[in-house]
Chains A and B, each alone.
Chain A
Amino acid sequence: MEEYPEELRTPPVPLVALVGIPDLHAAISLYLHRESPPLNTLALPDFAKVPMIGGKERKPADARMPPPLGILKADWLSKHRTRMPAVLAVLFDRDQVYGDPAQWMQVCTHLDNIKGVIRGRNLKLVVAIVQPTTQSEVNEDRLTALRKRAEVDSKSCIIFVTHEPSEMKRSMARLGSIMGELATAFYREEGRRVKLRIEKKTYSSLELSVRYNFKVAVYAEFRRDWVAALKFYETAYSLLQEVITNTTMELQPVERVVEMKAVAEQLHFKVSTLLLHSGKESEAVRWFREHVAWFKKMVGPPEGTFLHLAWFSKQFQVFAELLQNSLAITSQPAALAPGLSERELQPGFYYQAAAAYMVRRRRTFEAELATFEEFEDGNVIDVLAGSRSEVGPPVYVGQASRLLKRGNDNHSQSPTGSEYMRHAILMEKGFHHSHVAIELLTKAHEHFKIMEAGRTIYLLGSEMGREYFAAKDYSNAKRLFGHVAGMYRKEAWVALLASALAYLRECARQLGLLQDYVEYSLELSTLPSIEGFLFGPELGPHAHLQKEMVQEEVLELLQGSTQVLSNEGDLALNVTDLQPVALEIDLVSPLRAVVSACVAFHNQTVKPGKATSLTIALLTHLPLPITLHEVEVLFNQPSCNFILGRNRAVLTSEGSELLATDSSPSEQDVTRVSDFDLQLQPRKWKRITVEITAEESGKLECMAVVVRVGPHATIQCQVESPASREGIPLWMFESGLDILPMADGALAEFGQKVIRVEEPEALVDIVLEAPSPALVGEAFPVRVEIRPMGHHILSGDLEVYFAPSTSGTLIPNQSLSSMSTPSPVEAELLVPAVPASVDLVGDESYVKFTGLVEVPEVKVGESWSTVVLVRWRDSEAVTLMSTFVYQAAESGHPGYQYRLHKSVFIECEEALSVGHRYMAPFRRDALLLGGLEANQAGKVTAAALALKESSILVVTFKNTSSLPLRLSSVGIEEADENKCVVRLSGGQGPAKLIKLGTDHLTEVTDKEGEMSINQLMGGIIVGADEVFTQLFWVQPLVASKALPVGTIFAKWQRGHNSMPSEVALLGTVESVAKFSFNAVTTRVQLSSILVESPPLVVTLDCPPHAVLGTAFTISIRVQNLTSTLQEIFFAVFDTTSFIFSGAHTDTVSILPRSTYSLSYRLVPVTSGMQQLPQVRLTSSWYSASFQPSSVSSQLFVFPSAPNLNAIQTQLSPLEEA
């Protein structure tokens, strides 16, 4: 758009002229320019310059017009904008007008001259009398005379006051408004004049119609009548179309066609600008579309096609710029009119089209230039390229420059057709088509980038790349095509990708990039279905490519048998030992189609040193078969790498040399296997199965396959597992069956490129012996034995630990966190303390064990063992684990650490369950109020005992384990002798320790003497589920609510005489003897008791037996231990077994601290165990009644008197108590 002259680009502004008083011109010009609408000012310095603005003599409206030489005058527009004013303002000083007659005459002369000049042009005149002082003497006569002289009305004659700024401003406003008014009137009249000429049709040529309509439109534009202007421009445009249709464009000389199109361009530009300025984008677009469609066919003579394309490109570019400017002003996008697509409202679309025409212009011109240079004599000079004095600008729009030396009239000055064409071609030759096209594409790119039209951007990218290629800027072209190829690869647009690759290949060739050239060639030849495409005219001989030819060429290059010339032969691409080619194909590389490798082990695991089968499958999508020189397979364990050689039958002499010379010394140790057919057929898997042996344990993974295709050309290709193999993207969309890489279906489905090499077998046995079950509290011995079964152990480490206890009772709704943290094992590891060690754990002879033991050298045939002790705190089964890590003396795997695990499950049982209860003495009951209350309240409290009364404590020891236990001693340790005395039942001695055994009930007060295990070998055996009971007397000495009594303890040991069957299974007596168990003391704290002093104690006195018919006495003694009088009500329930005498019911009072004895005389009448009459006692004070239990009030009645002596001796101790 910048190429257009200023007068065309901007809307016309009325032009006015000033003459006289030059001092004021600058201020007035500035004011008029700022006026709205603005006025341009032509300031004439003095009256002598006035004739300058005078035009030529006008022809009358009905004068006959000859056919014109051109359509639009080239300088008409600029003339009206810069040289032909509409209004002339004449400024006179006040003194000149009102001054002396000489001055007045001067004024008159000036006016006459001016009138003479403007007469032909109908120019408007304004007279202004400048009044610089406050002196305001007005001579009306002189003023009238002046108006008359100047032939202006009073409105156009103004007084211009300058002495005061505000007045001057007002004067200027007046001047401006009158001049604007007159200018509008002038342009209207001028327009009307031209219109009259159109109406009168005094001419025959359509060209003049175009010109007149154009003029009318311009005059309308001068008066800012845009609607009228648009109408006349459109008329002019359609008249021009008529002009063109009336002529045969192909037969017209090029310059004529160019002229008509130049006029069309100017008219179209005006129409588009006006439409866009009035906010009618859609209409402008539609107008442009019609414009383009109409002129598309107007190519003109073939030799000027490139000029036509240049014109077209310019149309698009200019419209894009206009649209861009218009869209920049209007904020919201225009509403989409029906029939228009969104793209058409985007400047980018037009830039892109402009670029496309620019490209076509270049291509057409290149052909044209070739013909031109073929026939053109090089010595002919371009006359139109002469100096300014020789070549003048054209008179009419779009015409050629004039040769000034060839005469005076326009016709003779015009260059000839061949001169014109030569000039055009030579001018075009200097034009940088590609640069302009790239610039246009860049602009389009900017617009499409905003729209996020990704694919269009890539299209622009490839177009730019093509232009860079045409401009021989290969590195930029390569960069752009590299981007573009990525997109087309992703969306599998094969034809487009092929085009990009063809350019990339050429770029690489031109730049001498061997590796890139090979890669692009290989990728190009592996594309599916690209036959019959033209990849780009810029490529020249390489525009038509065949995959097969590309493959043959690149393979020959890789094999070193040929070379590729680049850069017009300056630089040759060839593969030598100095320039080797090593391609790497990873899993995302586009070159996967060249060679892709799939590897599967036939097994999932293998033992070290054992052979396993491995299948390598190779696939190529090259169109022709390819023969590989060798295939090297690389593993993560380099010792497994191997090379597959070619079949000797097909090995050429050249090939054998190659294999012999190529193995460098460093690769000598690589296994080489020959005799393989290494020819790959297109799209057919080549499967090779080999046996490989892994030496190291762990993971063996196939990493890559290196394929050698030439002496100095290798392709390294990352391998895939068949199970996780992905198809080659571009070929995935091709029809046809996908063949599995492996012949074996299972292998193809699940095959892996990784195999697990197992660890070498440890030839050592670990034996964990434990005489299960264990008992809580004892140090349970577990024997760990290490027996070499073929390995000579050099050194090793044994670790013993508990398996994390999952305890087998996982509650499903447990939270995950609690499940994951294993509960601590209720057992600990111990070892016997070293005797010298001082810091023993308490009084024990064990220390805690960390679990780690170093194992010394153990030879085959020998064994090593140790004993680990386990002590439980709670009866819970545990799993004891042992891990043995060792180094063997065997050769082959020096330093290899073998690892072995073993575990044993050990159950644990509680050994003893200790129970106890308190009993009142026989037939002696105390009223215990606290105990009654507790019972009534339903609370389970401590046992209640009477103060200073002896109660019986029954302690039971039950063997809850499945083993017999040897109970060596039991006893109670008193908590405080002064508060509560505990005595052994049957004896008066303290109950501290009772040694059990054959001589049971022997007291041992000496605490120190009983520690040795051997001493305790005595004692009594308590079998499984048997109960041992021991009685004690307890006599509390102080009243208390919670009186501690003491601790029951029992010393026990596992009974040896009957070992469980598991231990017996170990065989020998020796093995049983290996386990020795310590004695364990179980302690149970007696719960505190409630001690209170009873208010009443009831004792039943009764003989131990009776004889039928013999009378005896029972007495119920009630002791009142309180200091108050107690009333006791009693009642006797009769029985049939006895006849008795005494009161049945009564109430008695008992004095404080005294005893009341209620005696009955009884005569038994039935023999046998008989129920005595029961007496019910009720204390009204405490409202408590007492009735002895029926068991305690039974008596045996002999039929006749027994031998009492024997009974007496037996029972005497009881009576004493």
Chain B
Amino acid sequence: MIASVAVVGQENNPLYLQSFIDGDDALKFHYIVHSSLDIIEEKVNNPKKPGVSLNETYLGLLYPTEDYRVFGYLSNTKIKFILVTTDQDVRDADVRNFFHRFHAAYVEAASNPFHVPGKRITATAFTERVTNIVKSFGASSLA
């Protein structure tokens, strides 16, 4: 199950952050997403390290916390997409698929003529679309 998703801008500022777990400390996901930027930076700055290939946008598992696992995705324009999931075993293909759809949704939201690049995304259409993507996460593996 997806706990939280986030879009982080070029200046490492949050553009969008939504958590899907009710009753839990929402601030925690802010901390988790913010700390995960460290690992994205590590991966980008040390491309020689094993297990990192910068030829693709998908960065793989960034780090696990006690309860969650954090995955990352970096667009060509240095927009970071972050997924926080509660599942301990996630299929890589599912995560990739999720990020592709999430990225596409962001591209569409950023193409909105009323959206100023670099500002927080407040469009409800984006939120709805992301919620749908989150809901359908992992559905392909079940089917």
Contacts and interface: CB of A to CB of B under 8 A. Distances in A.
| Chains A and B come from one and the same complex | yes
Interface of A: 289, 292-293, 335-336, 339, 341-344, 349, 353, 356-357, 451, 453-456, 458-459, 462, 488, 491-496, 499, 529, 532-536, 732-735
Contacts of A342: 39, 42, 49, 51, 63
Given A336-B51, A532-B26, A535-B27, A733 B119 contact: yes
Contact of B13 (A343, A462, A491): A491
28 contacts: A293-B88, A343-B39, A343-B62, A343-B63, A349-B63, A353-B65, A453-B35, A453-B39, A453-B42, A459-B31, A491-B13, A493-B13, A493-B14, A495-B17, A495-B27, A499-B27, A529-B120, A533-B27, A535-B27, A536-B27, A732-B118, A733-B13, A733-B14, A733-B119, A733-B120, A734-B119, A734-B120, A735-B116
Given A341-B64, A344-B64, A336 B26 contact: no
A820 B120 CA distance: 53
B94 interface: no
B30 A493 contact: yes
Interface string B29-52: 011001101110010000001110
Contact of A493 (B34, B38, B42): B34
Nearest to A738: B116
A1155 to B, nearest CB: 111
Given A341-B61, A343-B64, A735-B119, A496 B27 contact: yes
B63 A735 contact: no
Contacts of B35: 453, 455-456, 459
A353 B66 contact: yes
A294 to B, nearest CB: 11
A453 B14 contact: no
Interface string B108-131: 000000011011111000000000
Contacts of B14: 492-494, 733
Contacts of A353: 65-66
B80 to A, nearest CB: 12
Given A534-B27, A733-B120, A492 B11 contact: yes
B63 A341 contact: yes
Interface string B73-97: 0000000000000001000000000
Contact of B25 (A458, A494, A534, A732): A534
A342 B63 CA distance: 7
Given A455-B35, A459-B35, A534 B120 contact: no
Contacts of A292: 66
Contacts of A532: 26
Interface of B: 9, 11-15, 17, 25-27, 30-31, 34-35, 37-39, 42, 49-51, 61-66, 88, 115-116, 118-122
B118 A733 contact: yes
A532 B18 CA distance: 13
Given A491-B12, A735-B116, A534 B63 contact: no
A460 B25 CA distance: 17
Contact of B38 (A293, A455, A495): A455
A485 to B, nearest CB: 13
A356 B65 CA distance: 10
Given A349-B63, A492-B13, A735-B119, A455 B37 contact: yes
B122 A735 contact: yes
Contacts of A732: 118-119
A356 B66 contact: yes
A522 B65 CA distance: 34
A454 B121 CA distance: 26
Contacts of A733: 9, 13-15, 118-120
Contacts of A343: 39, 62-64
A570 B84 CA distance: 45
B42 A344 contact: no
A454 B27 contact: no
A168 B124 CA distance: 90
Contacts of B119: 732-735
Contacts of B26: 495, 532-534
A722 to B, nearest CB: 20
A491 B15 CA distance: 11
A289 B9 CA distance: 33
B30 A491 contact: no
A339 B51 CA distance: 10
- By CB atoms of chain B within 10 A, which of A341, A488, A492, A496 has the most? A341
Contacts of B15: 733
A1183 to B, nearest CB: 95
A137 B51 CA distance: 74
Contacts of B120: 529, 733-735
Shortest 3 CB-CB distances between A and B: which pairs? A343-B63, A492-B13, A453-B38
Given A342-B63, A458-B34, A493-B34, 10 more contacts: A341-B39, A341-B64, A353-B65, A453-B35, A453-B38, A491-B11, A492-B11, A496-B31, A532-B26, A735-B122
Nearest to B49: A342
- By CB atoms of chain A within 10 A, which of B49, B61, B66 has the most? B66
B42 A451 contact: yes
Nearest to A346: B63
Contacts of A459: 31, 34-35
A909 B27 CA distance: 88
Nearest to B121: A735
Given A335-B50, A534-B26, A733-B118, A454 B62 contact: no
A341 B50 CA distance: 11
B62 A341 contact: yes
A292 B67 CA distance: 11
B23 to A, nearest CB: 10
Contacts of A536: 27
Contacts of B34: 455, 458-459, 488, 491, 493, 496
Contacts of B115: 735
B38 A456 contact: yes
A533 B27 CA distance: 7
A667 B34 CA distance: 50
Contact of A336 (B42, B50, B118): B50
Nearest to A344: B64
Nearest to B31: A459
A1111 to B, nearest CB: 119
B131 to A, nearest CB: 17
B33 to A, nearest CB: 9
Contacts of B42: 342, 451, 453
A735 B121 CA distance: 7
A960 B50 CA distance: 90
A582 to B, nearest CB: 32
Contacts of A451: 42
A343 B64 CA distance: 8
B97 to A, nearest CB: 19
A499 B49 CA distance: 35
A344 B61 CA distance: 11
A505 B30 CA distance: 20
B38 A454 contact: yes
A357 B120 CA distance: 34
A452 to B, nearest CB: 8
Contacts of A349: 63
A868 to B, nearest CB: 66
Contacts of B64: 289, 341, 343-344
A496 B25 CA distance: 12
Nearest to B114: A735
Nearest to B46: A342
A590 to B, nearest CB: 15
A331 B64 CA distance: 25
A454 B42 CA distance: 11
A292 B11 CA distance: 36
A341 B69 CA distance: 10
Contacts of B25: 534
Contacts of A499: 27
A356 B28 CA distance: 12
Given A336-B50, A341-B61, A735-B120, A495 B30 contact: yes
A354 to B, nearest CB: 10
